[in-house]
Amino acid sequence: MIPNRWLMIMFCLLAFVLSIFDSQPYGATQQSVHHEEALEKLANQLNAVLQDPRLDGALVGVSVRSAKTGEVLYGYQDHVRLTPASNQKLLVGAAALEVLGPDYTFETLVLTDGEIKGKVLHGNLYLKGKGDPTLLTEDFDRFAEGLAKKGIHIIRGDLVADDTWFDDVRLSTDMAWDNESSYAGVQVSALTASPNEDYDAGTVIVEVHATEPGKPAELQVIPETDYVTIINNTETVEQGGPRSISIQRQHGHNHIVVEGTIPHNGLHDRTWVSVWEPTGYALDLFKQSLQQVGIRILGDDQVYAATPEDATPLITRQSMPLSELFIPFMKFSNNGHAEIMVKEMGKVIHDEGSWSKGLEVVSNYLASRGLNHEAIRLRDGSGMSHLNMIAAKDLTQLLHVVQEEPWFDVFFGSLPVAGISERMVGGTLRHRMRDTAAAGNVRAKTGSLTAKTSLCGYVTTADGHPLTFAILLNNYMGSSPKDLEDEIAIRLAEFSFE
């Protein structure tokens, strides 16, 4: 027989064990049930948004994860590969920050294969580009002023542009012909220039100003350059009249045709137009700067060739670091920056500045972070290709894992912020989700192509839980349903587990 003392001890132990199973698990179970009920309610809300008739027959992929754990909280066809449009830049941007680093800069050099004797440079002058998209007119002015300070008045040789850092393929494989003259379809060269501090490399700005009714409008090109020829087929009409300005560069050369009507006393029109062969554009700006400081070129002033390996550097310029460039890149979804980063990664890793080698680097980075790169199709860096493909769940997975990267603050800080009107903060989301729970909260990359739109990024719930989300809407008819993206993001910002 078991002594009464041992029976008492066994009874107490049993009571203790039962108390554990009867208290803490019950509370945890209740919490879990409440958690599941909240997620079910959220799923019902999001499913209702996606029943919008504009999405009938369209392809939809939505994924929501906990940013802390990576747990999938909601998925709607999140495994289906869809075209991400400019959310392709999330993949390229992450790879660039990892491979090149946030402190990486692009270099531009002025070199010679000759020597300076008195006021004369006996030899050729080379302008060598290495991918910098931030060169402005004032930078070429500084190059020229630097040469003048070295005492150079005459160049007894040729003025040479060297863009051999990258290959000579100017447009990505799937670029649509009707995007070719716009800033969205900019040509990519290792030697290029930008018209202003948005750094839309390889473009000029064409402004149209009304004059008097019945007369052509006044046109201005920024920066001033003879590299493009403007054909003015415009007319100023009476105040309140029709406004229908078209600005297109003709294929194969730099004839920009401006036509249509602009009302008297109305707002001016401004359009960014890509140039044909940006290498020559940069060279033309440099030539103008040399002329302004009085430096004469006795040889050919329009030569394209590689710089000799033993050439002597005269002036070197480093661009802003990648961490600063990421602001205009992501905030304004700059296509040229994305393609330049792709080619630069190919050059740095494989010594080949091409799309194929650069995209190989991006793919390898994604694989190194646990994404199934074989299920992701990369055709360019900007997202202009309709053949880029990725599933929504892979985008939220990427957004989750990059939080552990040492450069995450740069990545996160470059994303547009919903409803914030300041241009360098709100970016492409500055006019969206104003006066909602998402304003100042949602940080996300936008994307837009014909019949395709996307929004992917980060949001914090009403009770303080950070989430990653990806919304991909493809093959809809009619106008873009971006308001549905906004509604989903707002629902996430309003959501609470409590």
CB 75 within 8 A of CB 62: yes
Query: Does one domain contain both 486 and 376?
Result: yes
What pLDDT, on the 0 to 100 scale, is given for residue 452?
98
Mean pLDDT score of the chain: 94
86 is catalytic: yes
Q: What is the dihedral of CA 265, 269, 270, 275, to 10 degrees?
A: -130
In the predicted model, is pLDDT for residue 17 greater than 60?
Answer: no
- Rounded Cα distance between 438 and 491, Å, is 8
Using DSSP bridges, classify how beta strands 312-318 and 107-112 pair: parallel, antiparallel or unpaired: antiparallel
In the predicted model, is pLDDT for residue 43 greater than 60?
Answer: yes
Question: pTM for the full model?
Answer: 0.92
Query: Does one domain contain both 366 and 443?
Result: yes
Domain boundary among 320, 345, 380: 320
At 333-383, the pLDDT tens digits run 999 999 999 999 999 999 999 999 999 999 999 999 999 999 999 999 999
**Would you tell me the crossing angle of helices 335-350 and 355-368 to the nearest 10 degrees?**
80
* 24 is a domain residue: no
Return phi, psi of residue 438, to 5°. Answer: -85, -20
- Rounded Cα distance between 343 and 361, Å, is 10
Give the tokens for residue 5: 């003392």
Domain boundary among 266, 299, 320: 320
- Rounded Cα distance between 286 and 143, Å, is 8
Query: Does one domain contain both 288 and 224?
Result: no
* 463 is a domain residue: yes
CA-nearest of 372, 293, 369, 334 to 89 is: 334
What pLDDT, on the 0 to 100 scale, is given for residue 31?
62
CB 54 within 8 A of CB 478: yes
Provide mean pLDDT across the span 67-96: 98
CB 87 within 8 A of CB 415: no
Query: Does one domain contain both 161 and 304?
Result: yes
CB 161 within 8 A of CB 304: yes
Provide the edge-to-edge strand list for the sheet that holds 107-112.
303-304, 159-162, 125-129, 107-112, 312-318
- Rounded Cα distance between 80 and 60, Å, is 8
Q: Of the residues 63, 89, 445, 454, which is catalytic? A: 89
* 300 is a domain residue: yes
What pLDDT, on the 0 to 100 scale, is given for residue 21?
42
* 36 is a domain residue: no
What pLDDT, on the 0 to 100 scale, is given for residue 53?
96
Provide mean pLDDT across the span 252-263: 96
For residue 408, the domain's CATH number is: 3.40.710.10
pLDDT band at 267 (very low <50, low <70, confident <90, very high): confident
Provide mean pLDDT across the span 158-173: 97
Domain boundary among 253, 288, 320: 320
Query: Does one domain contain both 151 and 300?
Result: yes
In the predicted model, is pLDDT for residue 1 greater than 70?
Answer: no
Residue type, 282: A
141: Cβ contacts below 8 Å, ≥ 6 apart: 289, 292
**How many C-beta atoms surround the C-beta of residue 412 within 10 A?**
15
Query: Does one domain contain both 254 and 400?
Result: no
Question: Residue 390: beta bridge partners?
Answer: 82
Query: Does one domain contain both 254 and 335?
Result: no
- Rounded Cα distance between 401 and 405, Å, is 8
CB 84 within 8 A of CB 454: yes
- Rounded Cα distance between 170 and 179, Å, is 13
Instruction: Tell me the residue range of the domain where 151 lies.
Output: 107-169+278-320
Q: Of the residues 63, 86, 319, 382, which is catalytic? A: 86
89 is catalytic: yes
In the predicted model, is pLDDT for residue 259 greater than 60?
Answer: yes
Provide mean pLDDT across the span 389-408: 98
Provide mean pLDDT across the span 386-406: 98
* 191 is a domain residue: no
- Rounded Cα distance between 92 and 105, Å, is 17
CB 331 within 8 A of CB 414: yes
What is the CB-side half-sphere exposure of residue 489 using CA atoms within 13 A? Answer: 33
For residue 163, the domain's CATH number is: 3.50.80.20
- Rounded Cα distance between 85 and 450, Å, is 9
What pLDDT, on the 0 to 100 scale, is given for residue 33?
72
Using DSSP bridges, classify how beta strands 296-297 and 154-156 pair: parallel, antiparallel or unpaired: parallel
CB 425 within 8 A of CB 414: no
E strands in 330-461? 390-391, 443-449, 452-460
What pLDDT, on the 0 to 100 scale, is given for residue 35?
82
CB neighbour burial string for 212-247, b if at least 16 within 10 angstroms, e if fewer:
eeeeebebebebebebbebeeebbbbeeebeeebeb
Return phi, psi of residue 469, to 5°. Answer: -145, 155
Query: Does one domain contain both 329 and 473?
Result: yes
* 194 is a domain residue: no
Q: Of the residues 63, 189, 333, 385, which is catalytic? A: 333
What pLDDT, on the 0 to 100 scale, is given for residue 380?
98
Query: Does one domain contain both 330 and 412?
Result: yes
* 192 is a domain residue: no
What pLDDT, on the 0 to 100 scale, is given for residue 6?
52
Provide the edge-to-edge strand list for the sheet that holds 269-274.
218-222, 203-209, 269-274
- Rounded Cα distance between 470 and 327, Å, is 21
E strands in 151-200? 154-156, 159-162
What pLDDT, on the 0 to 100 scale, is given for residue 32?
75
Query: Does one domain contain both 376 and 440?
Result: yes
Query: Does one domain contain both 339 and 441?
Result: yes
In the predicted model, is pLDDT for residue 478 greater than 60?
Answer: yes
At 192-226, the pLDDT tens digits run 999 999 999 999 999 999 999 999 999 999 999 99
Least confident of 31-45, 239-253, 451-465: 31-45
More confident residue, 26 or 213: 213
User: How many independent structural domains does the chain possess?
Assistant: 3
* 19 is a domain residue: no
CB 426 within 8 A of CB 418: yes
Give the tokens for residue 96: 């660039």
What pLDDT, on the 0 to 100 scale, is given for residue 19?
47
At 102-117, the pLDDT tens digits run 999 999 999 999 999 9
What is the CB-side half-sphere exposure of residue 350 using CA atoms within 13 A? Answer: 19
Tracing tokens 């960014």 back to the chain, one arrives at: 272
Tracing tokens 């299920």 back to the chain, one arrives at: 375
**How many C-beta atoms surround the C-beta of residue 53 within 10 A?**
7
In the predicted model, is pLDDT for residue 182 greater than 80?
Answer: yes
15: Cβ contacts below 8 Å, ≥ 6 apart: none
Provide mean pLDDT across the span 278-285: 98
Query: Does one domain contain both 393 and 331?
Result: yes
Provide mean pLDDT across the span 289-315: 97
